[in-house]
Protein backbone atom coordinates (compact mmCIF):
# COMPACT_ATOMS: atom_id res chain seq x y z
CA UNK A 1 0.00 0.00 0.00
CA UNK A 2 1.42 3.35 -1.06
CA UNK A 3 1.47 5.85 1.82
CA UNK A 4 -0.34 9.15 1.19
CA UNK A 5 1.73 12.04 -0.04
CA UNK A 6 3.22 14.28 2.63
CA UNK A 7 1.25 17.53 3.01
CA UNK A 8 3.74 20.38 2.73
CA UNK A 9 3.31 24.06 3.46
CA UNK A 10 5.58 24.86 0.52
CA UNK A 11 2.78 23.63 -1.75
CA UNK A 12 0.10 25.81 -0.13
CA UNK A 13 -0.23 29.41 -1.20
CA UNK A 14 -0.80 31.88 1.57
CA UNK A 15 0.78 35.33 1.83
CA UNK A 16 1.82 35.03 5.46
CA UNK A 17 4.22 37.14 7.44
CA UNK A 18 4.50 39.97 4.96
CA UNK A 19 2.44 42.58 6.84
CA UNK A 20 3.91 44.40 9.80
CA UNK A 21 1.98 44.73 13.05
CA UNK A 22 0.69 48.25 13.57
CA UNK A 23 -0.36 49.14 17.11
CA UNK A 24 -3.09 47.13 18.82
CA UNK A 25 -4.01 44.23 16.54
CA UNK A 26 -7.44 42.63 16.58
CA UNK A 27 -8.18 39.09 15.39
CA UNK A 28 -9.35 40.28 11.97
CA UNK A 29 -5.96 41.93 11.40
CA UNK A 30 -4.28 38.67 12.44
CA UNK A 31 -6.40 36.77 9.89
CA UNK A 32 -5.16 39.10 7.18
CA UNK A 33 -1.53 39.08 8.33
CA UNK A 34 -1.51 35.27 8.61
CA UNK A 35 -2.84 34.92 5.07
CA UNK A 36 -6.35 33.57 5.73
CA UNK A 37 -8.24 36.20 3.76
CA UNK A 38 -8.12 39.50 1.91
CA UNK A 39 -10.77 42.17 1.48
CA UNK A 40 -12.26 42.52 -2.00
CA UNK A 41 -14.79 45.28 -1.31
CA UNK A 42 -16.38 46.86 1.75
CA UNK A 43 -17.79 43.98 3.79
CA UNK A 44 -16.67 41.37 1.24
CA UNK A 45 -13.67 39.04 1.45
CA UNK A 46 -11.68 36.55 -0.59
CA UNK A 47 -11.00 33.36 1.38
CA UNK A 48 -7.42 32.24 0.68
CA UNK A 49 -6.33 28.58 1.01
CA UNK A 50 -5.91 28.61 4.81
CA UNK A 51 -9.18 30.47 5.30
CA UNK A 52 -10.95 28.10 2.94
CA UNK A 53 -9.74 25.11 4.94
CA UNK A 54 -11.19 26.62 8.12
CA UNK A 55 -14.45 27.31 6.29
CA UNK A 56 -14.58 23.77 4.90
CA UNK A 57 -14.09 22.29 8.37
CA UNK A 58 -16.83 24.38 9.94
CA UNK A 59 -19.16 23.56 7.05
CA UNK A 60 -18.34 19.85 7.35
CA UNK A 61 -19.00 19.77 11.08
CA UNK A 62 -22.32 21.61 10.72
CA UNK A 63 -23.38 19.44 7.77
CA UNK A 64 -22.66 16.21 9.67
CA UNK A 65 -24.89 17.33 12.54
CA UNK A 66 -27.68 18.32 10.16
CA UNK A 67 -27.63 14.93 8.47
CA UNK A 68 -26.74 12.55 11.31
CA UNK A 69 -28.80 14.12 14.12
CA UNK A 70 -31.72 15.57 12.18
CA UNK A 71 -31.88 13.48 9.00
CA UNK A 72 -31.78 16.61 6.82
CA UNK A 73 -31.09 16.51 3.09
CA UNK A 74 -28.73 19.05 1.56
CA UNK A 75 -29.86 21.34 -1.24
CA UNK A 76 -28.33 24.31 -3.04
CA UNK A 77 -30.84 27.04 -3.79
CA UNK A 78 -30.33 29.78 -6.36
CA UNK A 79 -28.64 32.94 -5.11
CA UNK A 80 -31.00 35.00 -7.27
CA UNK A 81 -34.60 35.39 -6.14
CA UNK A 82 -37.54 37.07 -7.86
CA UNK A 83 -38.92 40.19 -6.21
CA UNK A 84 -42.43 38.99 -7.05
CA UNK A 85 -41.99 36.06 -4.67
CA UNK A 86 -41.03 38.40 -1.83
CA UNK A 87 -44.03 40.58 -2.57
CA UNK A 88 -46.26 37.52 -2.30
CA UNK A 89 -44.85 36.74 1.14
CA UNK A 90 -45.37 40.34 2.23
CA UNK A 91 -41.72 40.83 3.19
CA UNK A 92 -40.22 42.83 0.32
CA UNK A 93 -40.77 46.35 1.61
CA UNK A 94 -39.92 45.45 5.20
CA UNK A 95 -36.35 44.52 4.29
CA UNK A 96 -35.92 46.57 1.11
CA UNK A 97 -33.12 48.75 2.51
CA UNK A 98 -30.88 45.69 3.01
CA UNK A 99 -31.40 44.12 -0.41
CA UNK A 100 -29.11 44.08 -3.44
CA UNK A 101 -31.68 44.57 -6.22
CA UNK A 102 -31.36 44.48 -10.00
CA UNK A 103 -33.35 43.83 -13.19
CA UNK A 104 -32.62 41.60 -16.15
CA UNK A 105 -32.70 42.73 -19.79
CA UNK A 106 -36.49 42.31 -19.81
CA UNK A 107 -36.78 44.61 -16.76
CA UNK A 108 -37.88 41.74 -14.51
CA UNK A 109 -36.86 42.69 -10.94
CA UNK A 110 -34.65 40.30 -8.98
CA UNK A 111 -32.59 40.38 -5.80
CA UNK A 112 -29.57 38.63 -4.30
CA UNK A 113 -31.06 36.47 -1.57
CA UNK A 114 -30.24 37.51 2.02
CA UNK A 115 -32.19 34.44 3.15
CA UNK A 116 -34.27 31.76 1.42
CA UNK A 117 -37.62 31.30 3.18
CA UNK A 118 -39.57 32.37 0.09
CA UNK A 119 -37.60 30.19 -2.32
CA UNK A 120 -37.67 27.02 -0.23
CA UNK A 121 -41.38 27.40 0.54
CA UNK A 122 -42.19 27.94 -3.13
CA UNK A 123 -40.10 24.88 -4.05
CA UNK A 124 -41.84 22.66 -1.49
CA UNK A 125 -45.27 24.00 -2.47
CA UNK A 126 -44.66 22.95 -6.08
CA UNK A 127 -43.13 19.60 -5.21
CA UNK A 128 -44.68 18.08 -2.08
CA UNK A 129 -48.27 16.94 -2.66
CA UNK A 130 -49.01 14.46 0.12
CA UNK A 131 -48.92 14.71 3.90
CA UNK A 132 -47.11 11.36 3.79
CA UNK A 133 -44.01 13.16 2.45
CA UNK A 134 -43.73 15.08 5.71
CA UNK A 135 -41.85 15.72 7.93
CA UNK A 136 -39.27 17.23 5.59
CA UNK A 137 -35.89 18.71 6.57
CA UNK A 138 -33.85 20.56 3.95
CA UNK A 139 -30.63 22.49 4.54
CA UNK A 140 -28.02 24.35 2.55
CA UNK A 141 -24.70 26.11 3.15
CA UNK A 142 -24.43 28.99 0.75
CA UNK A 143 -23.53 32.63 0.16
CA UNK A 144 -25.94 35.32 1.33
CA UNK A 145 -26.04 39.02 0.58
CA UNK A 146 -27.19 41.96 2.70
CA UNK A 147 -26.47 45.59 1.94
CA UNK A 148 -25.26 46.45 5.42
CA UNK A 149 -25.23 50.18 6.10
CA UNK A 150 -21.94 49.96 8.02
CA UNK A 151 -20.06 46.69 7.46
CA UNK A 152 -17.37 46.32 10.11
CA UNK A 153 -15.20 43.97 12.13
CA UNK A 154 -14.31 41.90 9.07
CA UNK A 155 -16.22 38.62 8.94
CA UNK A 156 -18.38 39.62 11.88
CA UNK A 157 -20.54 42.10 9.96
CA UNK A 158 -20.22 41.69 6.19
CA UNK A 159 -22.31 42.26 3.09
CA UNK A 160 -21.46 38.87 1.59
CA UNK A 161 -21.24 35.87 3.91
CA UNK A 162 -21.64 32.11 4.20
CA UNK A 163 -24.63 30.78 6.13
CA UNK A 164 -26.19 27.45 6.94
CA UNK A 165 -29.98 27.40 6.63
CA UNK A 166 -32.19 24.52 7.73
CA UNK A 167 -35.86 24.59 6.74
CA UNK A 168 -38.33 22.15 8.27
CA UNK A 169 -41.89 21.27 7.23
CA UNK A 170 -44.30 19.38 9.52
CA UNK A 171 -47.96 18.36 9.44
CA UNK A 172 -48.85 19.69 12.88
CA UNK A 173 -47.85 22.35 15.37
CA UNK A 174 -46.92 19.69 17.93
CA UNK A 175 -44.62 17.93 15.47
CA UNK A 176 -43.05 21.25 14.41
CA UNK A 177 -42.35 22.19 18.04
CA UNK A 178 -40.71 18.80 18.64
CA UNK A 179 -38.54 19.48 15.58
CA UNK A 180 -37.68 22.88 17.03
CA UNK A 181 -36.39 21.33 20.25
CA UNK A 182 -34.42 18.68 18.33
CA UNK A 183 -32.68 21.40 16.33
CA UNK A 184 -31.90 23.34 19.49
CA UNK A 185 -30.22 20.23 20.92
CA UNK A 186 -28.19 19.81 17.73
CA UNK A 187 -27.08 23.45 17.91
CA UNK A 188 -25.80 22.94 21.44
CA UNK A 189 -23.68 20.03 20.22
CA UNK A 190 -22.33 22.01 17.26
CA UNK A 191 -21.13 24.92 19.38
CA UNK A 192 -19.72 22.54 21.99
CA UNK A 193 -17.68 20.81 19.27
CA UNK A 194 -16.40 24.21 18.13
CA UNK A 195 -15.31 24.96 21.73
CA UNK A 196 -17.30 28.20 21.78
CA UNK A 197 -19.15 29.12 25.02
CA UNK A 198 -22.35 30.05 23.21
CA UNK A 199 -25.39 31.02 25.30
CA UNK A 200 -28.93 30.38 23.95
CA UNK A 201 -31.42 33.16 24.74
CA UNK A 202 -35.03 33.88 23.89
CA UNK A 203 -35.30 36.48 21.15
CA UNK A 204 -37.57 38.51 18.92
CA UNK A 205 -38.53 36.98 15.57
CA UNK A 206 -38.29 40.39 13.87
CA UNK A 207 -38.93 40.54 10.12
CA UNK A 208 -38.56 36.76 9.84
CA UNK A 209 -41.97 36.17 11.39
CA UNK A 210 -43.32 33.57 13.78
CA UNK A 211 -43.73 33.87 17.52
CA UNK A 212 -40.96 31.66 18.94
CA UNK A 213 -37.24 32.11 18.43
CA UNK A 214 -33.90 31.69 20.17
CA UNK A 215 -30.55 33.30 19.44
CA UNK A 216 -27.17 31.69 20.13
CA UNK A 217 -24.77 34.30 21.47
CA UNK A 218 -21.05 34.38 22.15
CA UNK A 219 -20.26 36.89 24.92
CA UNK A 220 -17.75 39.41 23.56
CA UNK A 221 -17.10 43.16 23.87
CA UNK A 222 -17.37 43.35 20.06
CA UNK A 223 -20.97 42.13 20.14
CA UNK A 224 -23.74 44.31 18.78
CA UNK A 225 -26.40 42.71 20.99
CA UNK A 226 -26.90 42.65 24.71
CA UNK A 227 -27.92 39.50 26.59
CA UNK A 228 -29.83 39.90 29.84
CA UNK A 229 -29.60 37.02 32.32
CA UNK A 230 -30.35 36.07 35.91
CA UNK A 231 -28.12 33.58 37.70
CA UNK A 232 -30.83 32.73 40.27
CA UNK A 233 -33.55 31.43 37.94
CA UNK A 234 -31.88 31.00 34.54
CA UNK A 235 -33.81 33.85 32.89
CA UNK A 236 -31.88 34.60 29.67
CA UNK A 237 -33.15 36.79 26.83
CA UNK A 238 -32.03 39.24 24.20
CA UNK A 239 -32.28 42.80 25.47
CA UNK A 240 -34.86 43.49 22.73
CA UNK A 241 -37.50 41.45 24.54
CA UNK A 242 -36.24 41.77 28.10
CA UNK A 243 -38.46 43.31 30.75
CA UNK A 244 -37.76 44.56 34.22
CA UNK A 245 -39.77 46.26 36.93
CA UNK A 246 -40.01 50.00 36.27
CA UNK A 247 -37.84 51.84 38.75
CA UNK A 248 -39.11 54.81 40.72
CA UNK A 249 -39.68 58.24 39.26
CA UNK A 250 -37.19 61.07 39.85
CA UNK A 251 -36.49 61.87 43.49
CA UNK A 252 -38.02 64.79 45.33
CA UNK A 253 -36.26 68.09 44.84
CA UNK A 254 -35.55 67.66 41.13
CA UNK A 255 -37.35 70.45 39.29
CA UNK A 256 -39.77 69.72 36.44
CA UNK A 257 -37.67 71.43 33.76
CA UNK A 258 -34.57 69.40 34.58
CA UNK A 259 -36.23 66.03 35.14
CA UNK A 260 -36.41 64.87 31.51
CA UNK A 261 -34.23 64.42 28.43
CA UNK A 262 -35.13 63.98 24.77
CA UNK A 263 -33.72 61.77 22.02
CA UNK A 264 -34.79 62.44 18.44
CA UNK A 265 -35.10 59.97 15.61
CA UNK A 266 -36.71 59.90 12.19
CA UNK A 267 -38.56 57.29 10.19
CA UNK A 268 -37.06 55.63 7.14
CA UNK A 269 -39.44 57.49 4.83
CA UNK A 270 -38.41 60.79 6.51
CA UNK A 271 -42.01 61.81 7.19
CA UNK A 272 -42.09 61.47 10.98
CA UNK A 273 -39.93 63.05 13.63
CA UNK A 274 -39.87 60.72 16.64
CA UNK A 275 -39.33 62.52 19.94
CA UNK A 276 -38.41 60.15 22.76
CA UNK A 277 -38.92 61.69 26.19
CA UNK A 278 -37.34 59.92 29.16
CA UNK A 279 -36.46 60.71 32.79
CA UNK A 280 -33.04 62.18 33.40
CA UNK A 281 -32.89 60.60 36.85
CA UNK A 282 -34.32 57.42 38.36
CA UNK A 283 -33.81 55.48 41.55
CA UNK A 284 -32.71 51.86 41.35
CA UNK A 285 -35.09 49.35 42.85
CA UNK A 286 -32.34 47.44 44.61
CA UNK A 287 -30.31 50.19 46.30
CA UNK A 288 -32.43 53.36 45.87
CA UNK A 289 -29.35 55.11 44.50
CA UNK A 290 -29.79 57.74 41.84
CA UNK A 291 -28.99 56.99 38.21
CA UNK A 292 -28.48 59.68 35.59
CA UNK A 293 -29.48 58.66 32.07
CA UNK A 294 -28.20 59.69 28.64
CA UNK A 295 -29.36 59.00 25.09
CA UNK A 296 -27.33 55.76 25.12
CA UNK A 297 -29.76 54.43 27.75
CA UNK A 298 -32.80 54.72 25.45
CA UNK A 299 -34.14 51.28 24.47
CA UNK A 300 -34.73 51.70 20.74
CA UNK A 301 -36.40 48.29 20.54
CA UNK A 302 -39.24 49.64 22.67
CA UNK A 303 -39.39 52.80 20.57
CA UNK A 304 -39.61 50.68 17.41
CA UNK A 305 -42.53 48.76 18.91
CA UNK A 306 -44.40 52.09 18.83
CA UNK A 307 -42.95 53.37 15.56
CA UNK A 308 -41.77 50.32 13.53
CA UNK A 309 -40.43 52.46 10.67
CA UNK A 310 -37.86 54.20 12.91
CA UNK A 311 -34.45 54.43 11.24
CA UNK A 312 -32.32 53.41 14.22
CA UNK A 313 -29.09 53.95 12.24
CA UNK A 314 -29.51 57.74 12.08
CA UNK A 315 -27.49 59.51 14.75
CA UNK A 316 -28.59 63.10 14.01
CA UNK A 317 -32.19 63.27 12.83
CA UNK A 318 -32.64 67.06 12.77
CA UNK A 319 -30.91 67.81 9.43
CA UNK A 320 -33.01 65.13 7.74
CA UNK A 321 -36.15 66.49 9.38
CA UNK A 322 -35.28 70.05 8.28
CA UNK A 323 -35.04 68.82 4.69
CA UNK A 324 -38.36 67.01 5.02
CA UNK A 325 -40.32 69.99 6.34
CA UNK A 326 -38.79 72.25 3.70
CA UNK A 327 -39.80 69.98 0.84
CA UNK A 328 -42.98 70.25 -1.17
CA UNK A 329 -44.35 67.22 0.68
CA UNK A 330 -44.26 69.02 4.05
CA UNK A 331 -47.99 68.47 4.48
CA UNK A 332 -47.23 64.76 4.92
CA UNK A 333 -44.87 65.20 7.87
CA UNK A 334 -45.90 64.69 11.47
CA UNK A 335 -44.46 64.39 14.95
CA UNK A 336 -44.62 61.28 17.13
CA UNK A 337 -43.97 61.63 20.86
CA UNK A 338 -42.97 58.48 22.75
CA UNK A 339 -43.03 59.16 26.48
CA UNK A 340 -41.62 57.14 29.36
CA UNK A 341 -44.51 56.53 31.75
CA UNK A 342 -42.44 57.67 34.73
CA UNK A 343 -42.66 61.27 33.52
CA UNK A 344 -46.29 61.21 34.61
CA UNK A 345 -49.63 62.26 33.22
CA UNK A 346 -48.96 65.95 33.86
CA UNK A 347 -46.03 65.76 31.48
CA UNK A 348 -48.19 64.03 28.87
CA UNK A 349 -50.90 66.68 29.24
CA UNK A 350 -48.40 69.50 28.89
CA UNK A 351 -46.80 67.89 25.85
CA UNK A 352 -50.01 67.10 24.02
CA UNK A 353 -51.16 70.64 24.71
CA UNK A 354 -47.95 72.00 23.18
CA UNK A 355 -47.11 73.75 26.44
CA UNK A 356 -44.27 76.30 26.21
CA UNK A 357 -42.82 74.60 29.28
CA UNK A 358 -41.58 71.88 26.91
CA UNK A 359 -38.65 73.93 25.65
CA UNK A 360 -36.70 71.26 23.76
CA UNK A 361 -38.41 71.78 20.38
CA UNK A 362 -35.81 73.18 17.90
CA UNK A 363 -37.14 76.68 17.30
CA UNK A 364 -35.05 77.17 14.18
CA UNK A 365 -37.11 74.56 12.32
CA UNK A 366 -40.32 75.38 10.54
CA UNK A 367 -43.19 74.71 10.60
CA UNK A 368 -43.62 75.11 14.37
CA UNK A 369 -44.82 72.08 16.29
CA UNK A 370 -48.23 73.64 16.84
CA UNK A 371 -49.00 73.47 13.10
CA UNK A 372 -48.18 69.77 12.67
CA UNK A 373 -50.15 66.59 13.35
CA UNK A 374 -48.87 65.15 16.62
CA UNK A 375 -49.46 61.74 18.21
CA UNK A 376 -48.27 60.80 21.68
CA UNK A 377 -47.77 57.40 23.31
CA UNK A 378 -47.02 56.52 26.92
CA UNK A 379 -48.37 52.94 26.79
CA UNK A 380 -47.79 50.06 24.40
CA UNK A 381 -50.50 48.36 22.34
CA UNK A 382 -51.51 46.25 25.36
CA UNK A 383 -51.93 49.28 27.59
CA UNK A 384 -48.71 48.55 29.51
CA UNK A 385 -46.83 51.68 30.72
CA UNK A 386 -43.75 52.39 28.61
CA UNK A 387 -40.29 51.87 30.09
CA UNK A 388 -38.00 53.51 27.53
CA UNK A 389 -34.74 52.91 29.40
CA UNK A 390 -32.46 49.96 28.79
CA UNK A 391 -31.93 47.40 31.49
CA UNK A 392 -28.72 47.78 33.46
CA UNK A 393 -26.76 45.26 35.47
CA UNK A 394 -28.24 45.15 38.97
CA UNK A 395 -31.90 45.63 37.96
CA UNK A 396 -34.30 43.13 39.51
CA UNK A 397 -35.22 40.00 37.60
CA UNK A 398 -38.81 40.05 36.27
CA UNK A 399 -39.11 36.26 36.47
CA UNK A 400 -37.98 35.35 39.97
CA UNK A 401 -38.07 38.86 41.53
CA UNK A 402 -35.41 37.95 44.12
CA UNK A 403 -32.57 37.79 41.58
CA UNK A 404 -30.75 40.64 39.88
CA UNK A 405 -30.02 40.95 36.19
CA UNK A 406 -26.68 40.98 34.43
CA UNK A 407 -26.22 42.61 31.01
CA UNK A 408 -23.44 41.37 28.73
CA UNK A 409 -22.40 42.40 25.21
CA UNK A 410 -22.71 39.43 22.89
CA UNK A 411 -22.54 38.39 19.25
CA UNK A 412 -25.21 36.32 17.54
CA UNK A 413 -23.85 33.20 15.80
CA UNK A 414 -27.10 31.33 15.20
CA UNK A 415 -30.86 31.79 15.29
CA UNK A 416 -33.79 29.37 15.41
CA UNK A 417 -37.33 30.33 14.41
CA UNK A 418 -40.64 28.52 14.68
CA UNK A 419 -42.46 30.10 11.73
CA UNK A 420 -45.78 28.32 11.89
CA UNK A 421 -47.68 29.21 8.69
CA UNK A 422 -45.99 32.60 8.15
CA UNK A 423 -44.69 31.56 4.69
CA UNK A 424 -46.57 28.35 3.89
CA UNK A 425 -49.96 30.06 3.90
CA UNK A 426 -49.26 32.99 1.52
CA UNK A 427 -47.05 30.85 -0.76
CA UNK A 428 -49.39 27.86 -0.91
CA UNK A 429 -47.38 25.10 0.80
CA UNK A 430 -50.37 22.92 1.69
CA UNK A 431 -51.27 19.31 2.42
CA UNK A 432 -54.53 17.56 3.20
CA UNK A 433 -54.50 15.28 6.22
CA UNK A 434 -57.39 12.79 6.47
CA UNK A 435 -60.13 12.93 7.57
CA UNK A 436 -60.03 16.63 6.64
CA UNK A 437 -61.21 17.41 3.13
CA UNK A 438 -59.55 20.80 2.79
CA UNK A 439 -55.78 21.46 2.57
CA UNK A 440 -54.03 23.16 5.47
CA UNK A 441 -50.72 25.04 5.47
CA UNK A 442 -47.57 23.22 6.56
CA UNK A 443 -45.97 24.14 9.88
CA UNK A 444 -42.50 25.53 9.22
CA UNK A 445 -39.29 26.29 11.05
CA UNK A 446 -36.06 27.91 9.88
CA UNK A 447 -32.69 27.65 11.57
CA UNK A 448 -29.52 29.54 10.70
CA UNK A 449 -25.84 29.46 11.65
CA UNK A 450 -23.51 32.14 10.30
CA UNK A 451 -20.49 30.17 9.07
CA UNK A 452 -18.46 33.29 8.24
CA UNK A 453 -19.36 34.88 11.56
CA UNK A 454 -18.43 31.71 13.48
CA UNK A 455 -14.96 31.87 11.91
CA UNK A 456 -14.51 35.54 12.78
CA UNK A 457 -15.92 35.05 16.27
CA UNK A 458 -13.71 32.06 17.05
CA UNK A 459 -10.66 33.98 15.87
CA UNK A 460 -11.59 36.94 18.06
CA UNK A 461 -12.54 34.89 21.12
CA UNK A 462 -9.49 32.62 21.14
CA UNK A 463 -6.68 34.82 19.77
CA UNK A 464 -3.97 36.04 22.11
CA UNK A 465 -1.13 38.53 21.71
CA UNK A 466 0.98 35.85 19.98
CA UNK A 467 -1.51 35.00 17.26
CA UNK A 468 -4.60 33.01 16.38
CA UNK A 469 -5.43 29.95 18.47
CA UNK A 470 -7.89 27.66 16.67
CA UNK A 471 -9.74 24.76 18.26
CA UNK A 472 -9.05 21.39 16.62
CA UNK A 473 -12.42 21.32 14.86
CA UNK A 474 -11.68 24.56 12.98
CA UNK A 475 -7.91 24.70 12.57
CA UNK A 476 -6.64 24.79 8.97
CA UNK A 477 -4.23 22.03 10.05
CA UNK A 478 -4.39 20.58 13.55
CA UNK A 479 -0.67 19.82 13.81
CA UNK A 480 2.45 21.22 12.13
CA UNK A 481 5.88 19.57 11.99
CA UNK A 482 8.63 22.21 12.02
CA UNK A 483 12.14 20.91 11.24
CA UNK A 484 15.25 22.88 12.07
CA UNK A 485 17.30 24.39 9.25
CA UNK A 486 19.86 21.59 9.30
CA UNK A 487 17.32 18.79 9.74
CA UNK A 488 17.22 16.09 7.07
CA UNK A 489 13.98 16.01 5.09
CA UNK A 490 13.79 12.25 5.59
CA UNK A 491 13.76 12.73 9.37
CA UNK A 492 10.97 15.29 9.08
CA UNK A 493 8.95 12.87 6.94
CA UNK A 494 9.53 10.10 9.49
CA UNK A 495 8.05 12.29 12.24
CA UNK A 496 5.18 13.32 9.93
CA UNK A 497 4.35 9.67 9.20
CA UNK A 498 4.43 8.77 12.90
CA UNK A 499 1.82 11.43 13.64
CA UNK A 500 -0.28 10.33 10.68
CA UNK A 501 -0.38 6.77 12.05
CA UNK A 502 -2.37 7.67 15.18
CA UNK A 503 -4.88 4.94 16.01
CA UNK A 504 -5.94 5.74 19.59
CA UNK A 505 -7.56 8.83 21.14
CA UNK A 506 -7.75 11.73 18.70
CA UNK A 507 -7.87 9.49 15.63
CA UNK A 508 -9.79 11.22 12.86
CA UNK A 509 -9.00 14.65 14.28
CA UNK A 510 -5.35 14.78 13.27
CA UNK A 511 -4.66 16.85 10.16
CA UNK A 512 -0.88 17.24 10.00
CA UNK A 513 1.30 19.28 7.66
CA UNK A 514 5.07 19.65 7.28
CA UNK A 515 6.56 23.16 7.22
CA UNK A 516 9.30 22.66 4.66
CA UNK A 517 9.49 26.30 3.59
CA UNK A 518 12.97 27.73 3.03
CA UNK A 519 12.84 30.05 5.98
CA UNK A 520 14.78 30.33 9.24
CA UNK A 521 13.56 28.31 12.20
CA UNK A 522 12.69 31.41 14.32
CA UNK A 523 10.63 32.80 11.41
CA UNK A 524 8.70 29.55 11.02
CA UNK A 525 8.00 29.27 14.74
CA UNK A 526 6.70 32.85 14.88
CA UNK A 527 4.57 32.21 11.82
CA UNK A 528 3.18 28.98 13.32
CA UNK A 529 2.06 30.91 16.39
CA UNK A 530 0.45 33.60 14.21
CA UNK A 531 -1.42 31.03 12.09
CA UNK A 532 -2.60 29.25 15.23
CA UNK A 533 -1.78 25.55 14.71
CA UNK A 534 -3.14 23.81 17.84
CA UNK A 535 -0.16 21.42 18.10
CA UNK A 536 3.43 22.05 17.00
CA UNK A 537 6.11 19.35 16.78
CA UNK A 538 9.63 20.76 16.63
CA UNK A 539 12.76 18.97 15.39
CA UNK A 540 15.39 21.19 16.99
CA UNK A 541 18.59 20.72 18.94
CA UNK A 542 17.15 17.90 21.04
CA UNK A 543 16.40 15.96 17.85
CA UNK A 544 19.98 16.24 16.70
CA UNK A 545 21.40 14.93 19.99
CA UNK A 546 18.81 12.48 21.41
CA UNK A 547 16.26 12.00 18.58
CA UNK A 548 13.53 13.44 20.75
CA UNK A 549 11.03 15.97 19.44
CA UNK A 550 9.52 18.90 21.32
CA UNK A 551 5.71 19.00 21.37
CA UNK A 552 4.11 22.41 22.00
CA UNK A 553 0.47 23.28 22.64
CA UNK A 554 -0.13 26.95 23.36
CA UNK A 555 -3.78 26.50 24.38
CA UNK A 556 -2.78 24.04 27.13
CA UNK A 557 0.53 25.69 28.01
CA UNK A 558 2.45 22.51 27.10
CA UNK A 559 6.09 22.14 26.05
CA UNK A 560 7.33 18.56 26.34
CA UNK A 561 10.15 16.46 24.87
CA UNK A 562 9.08 12.98 23.78
CA UNK A 563 10.56 9.94 22.09
CA UNK A 564 9.33 9.47 18.54
CA UNK A 565 7.73 6.13 19.44
CA UNK A 566 5.57 7.90 22.05
CA UNK A 567 4.72 10.82 19.76
CA UNK A 568 1.44 9.44 18.30
CA UNK A 569 0.03 8.79 21.77
CA UNK A 570 0.78 12.28 23.07
CA UNK A 571 -0.44 14.05 19.93
CA UNK A 572 -3.61 11.95 19.95
CA UNK A 573 -4.28 12.80 23.58
CA UNK A 574 -3.81 16.50 22.90
CA UNK A 575 -6.23 16.36 19.98
CA UNK A 576 -8.81 14.61 22.15
CA UNK A 577 -8.51 17.39 24.77
CA UNK A 578 -8.65 20.23 22.27
Tell whether 395 is covered by a domain: no
Question: Over the Cα atoms of the chain, what is R_g?
Answer: 29
Tell whether 145 is covered by a domain: yes
Tell whether 234 is covered by a domain: no
**Number of domains the chain is built from:** 3
Q: 306 and 451 in one domain?
A: no
Q: 158 and 16 in one domain?
A: no
Q: 153 and 108 in one domain?
A: yes
Q: 14 and 44 in one domain?
A: no
Tell whether 51 is covered by a domain: yes
Averaged confidence pLDDT in the chain = 87
Q: Are 313 and 150 in contact (CB under 8 A)?
A: yes
Q: Read off the pTM.
A: 0.86
Q: Are 525 and 538 in contact (CB under 8 A)?
A: yes
- Per-residue pLDDT of 5-53, as tens digits, reads 899 999 999 887 656 676 678 999 999 999 999 999 999 999 999 999 9
Which structural domain range is residue 351 located in?
A: 256-377
CA–CA separation, 139 vs 141, rounded Å?
7
Q: Are 534 and 574 in contact (CB under 8 A)?
A: yes
Q: 445 and 371 in one domain?
A: no
Instruction: Taking the CA atoms of 133, 138, 144 and 150 in sequence, report the sign of the dihedral they define.
Output: positive
Q: 367 and 301 in one domain?
A: yes
Closest listed residue to residue 577, CA positions, set 542, 535, 537:
535
Tell whether 133 is covered by a domain: yes
Q: 319 and 198 in one domain?
A: no
Tell whether 232 is covered by a domain: no
CA–CA separation, 314 vs 311, rounded Å?
6
Tell whether 2 is covered by a domain: no
Q: Which residues contact 289 (CB under 8 A, 6 or more apart)?
A: 283
What does the pLDDT read at residue 554? 94
Q: 16 and 52 in one domain?
A: no
* Domain at 532, CATH number: 3.40.50.800
Q: 54 and 175 in one domain?
A: yes
Q: 415 and 446 in one domain?
A: yes
* Domain at 194, CATH number: 3.30.930.10
Q: 171 and 95 in one domain?
A: yes
Q: Is 334 left (phi over 0), alpha (psi -120 to 50) or beta?
A: beta
User: Helical H runs in 362-432?
Assistant: 424-427
Q: 196 and 61 in one domain?
A: yes
Tell whether 468 is covered by a domain: no
CA–CA separation, 218 vs 406, rounded Å?
15
pLDDT tens digit at each of 578 positions of the chain: 455 689 999 999 988 765 667 667 899 999 999 999 999 999 999 999 999 999 999 999 999 999 999 999 999 999 999 999 999 999 998 888 899 999 999 999 999 999 999 999 999 999 998 999 999 999 999 999 999 988 988 999 999 999 999 999 999 999 999 999 999 999 999 999 999 999 999 988 776 666 789 999 999 988 888 999 998 888 999 988 887 666 544 444 444 445 788 899 999 888 888 989 888 887 665 556 777 888 888 988 889 888 988 988 788 888 888 888 777 555 678 888 888 888 877 777 766 665 544 445 555 455 555 567 778 888 877 788 888 888 888 888 888 878 888 999 999 999 999 999 999 999 999 999 888 888 999 999 999 999 999 999 999 999 998 999 999 999 999 999 999 988 889 999 999 999 988 876 767 789 999 999 999 999 999 999 999 999 999 999 999 999 999 999 999 999 999 999 999 999 999 999 98
Amino acid sequence: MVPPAVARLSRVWFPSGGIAVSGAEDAHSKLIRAGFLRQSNAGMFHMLPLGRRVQDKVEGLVASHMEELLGASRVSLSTISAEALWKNSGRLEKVASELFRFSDRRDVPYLLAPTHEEEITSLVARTVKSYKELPLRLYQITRKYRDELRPRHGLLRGREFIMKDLYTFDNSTQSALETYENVRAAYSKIFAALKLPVVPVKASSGDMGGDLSHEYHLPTPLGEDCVVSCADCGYSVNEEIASSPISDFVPDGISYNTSYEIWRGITKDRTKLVNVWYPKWTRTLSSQKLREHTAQDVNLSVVKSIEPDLDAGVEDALPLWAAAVAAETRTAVKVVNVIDSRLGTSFLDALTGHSPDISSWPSELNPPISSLPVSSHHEDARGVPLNLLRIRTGDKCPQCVIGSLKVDKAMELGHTFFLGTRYSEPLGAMTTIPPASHPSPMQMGCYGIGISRVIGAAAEHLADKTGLNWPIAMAPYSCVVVPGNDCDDGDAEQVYNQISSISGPGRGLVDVILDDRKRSLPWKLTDADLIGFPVLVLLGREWRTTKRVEVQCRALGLKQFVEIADLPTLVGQLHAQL
